[in-house]
Structures are given as structure tokens and as C-alpha cells.
């Protein structure tokens, strides 16, 4: 009877010990992933802030007037309406077509 109680208590203790260590290791891995993701988010938010600053600076009316005065109004050509992409799908389709043409032309040159 006494041995049975000791064996049961040791078994329960060992099982809790193993269970606790596995949970601790999994939470440690999750915490490392969270720290890495937070670092990536910080870097990306910094890049977004810099891009917004560049955009606001470059698209300000004063900067546009300066650039037009340097270029000259005669050399200024507005963007064609066909060059404006309304969504990313149109842009990727054109990029795929041009990249396919480049690889096709490169293959032609290699064959010659």
C-alpha cells in the first residue's frame, strides 16, 4: 500500500514536470517569434513613415513648380491616360507581358 502511494505520487510528479517543461519551451519559442515580428513591424512602420514623408515632400506644389521651372514647361509632358493603372492587377499583367517578352528575346539571342 505504501509503495503504491509513492509510485503514484512520483508518476504524477514526473508527468507534471514533463508537461510543465514542454509548455515552457513552447511559450519561449512563441515569445521569440513575437519579438522578431515586433522588430519587423517597427522597421516596416519606419519605412512607411519615410515613404510618406518623401511623398508629401515630392508632391508639394512648391516642389512641383521648382521641378517644372528646371525642366521647362516645353519639356513637360503629362502622363498619358493609358499609363495610369487603376489597380495592381493591371500593372502585374503588363509586367508579366514585358518580362515574358524579355525572356523570349533573350532566348532568341542565345539561339543565334
pLDDT per residue as tens digits for the range 6-30: 999 999 999 999 999 999 999 999 9
Report yes or no on 2 lying in a domain: no
Q: Which residues contact 39 (CB under 8 A, 6 or more apart)?
A: none
**40 or 88: which carries more pLDDT confidence?**
40
Report yes or no on 56 lying in a domain: no
Report yes or no on 10 lying in a domain: no
Q: Which residues contact 63 (CB under 8 A, 6 or more apart)?
A: 57
Q: Which domain holds residue 101?
A: 78-112
Contact 93, 100 (CB under 8 A): no
Q: Residues 66-86: pLDDT tens digits?
A: 777 776 666 666 666 566 777
Angle at 50 between CA 46 and CA 54, to 5 degrees: 170
pTM to 2 decimals? 0.44
What is the tally of structural domains in the chain? Answer: 1
**110 or 49: which carries more pLDDT confidence?**
49
Report yes or no on 109 lying in a domain: yes
Amino acid at each position: 500500500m505504501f509503495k503504491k502511494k509513492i509510485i503514484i505520487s512520483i508518476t504524477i510528479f514526473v508527468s507534471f514536470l514533463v508537461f510543465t517543461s514542454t509548455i515552457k519551451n513552447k511559450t519561449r519559442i512563441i515569445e521569440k517569434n513575437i519579438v522578431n515580428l515586433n522588430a519587423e513591424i517597427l522597421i516596416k512602420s519606419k519605412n512607411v513613415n519615410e515613404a510618406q514623408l518623401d511623398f508629401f515632400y515630392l508632391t508639394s506644389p512648391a516642389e512641383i513648380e521648382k521641378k517644372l521651372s528646371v525642366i521647362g514647361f516645353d519639356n513637360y509632358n503629362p502622363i498619358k491616360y493609358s499609363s495610369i493603372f487603376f489597380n495592381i492587377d493591371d500593372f502585374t499583367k503588363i509586367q508579366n507581358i514585358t518580362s515574358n517578352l524579355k525572356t523570349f528575346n533573350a532566348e532568341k539571342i542565345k539561339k543565334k
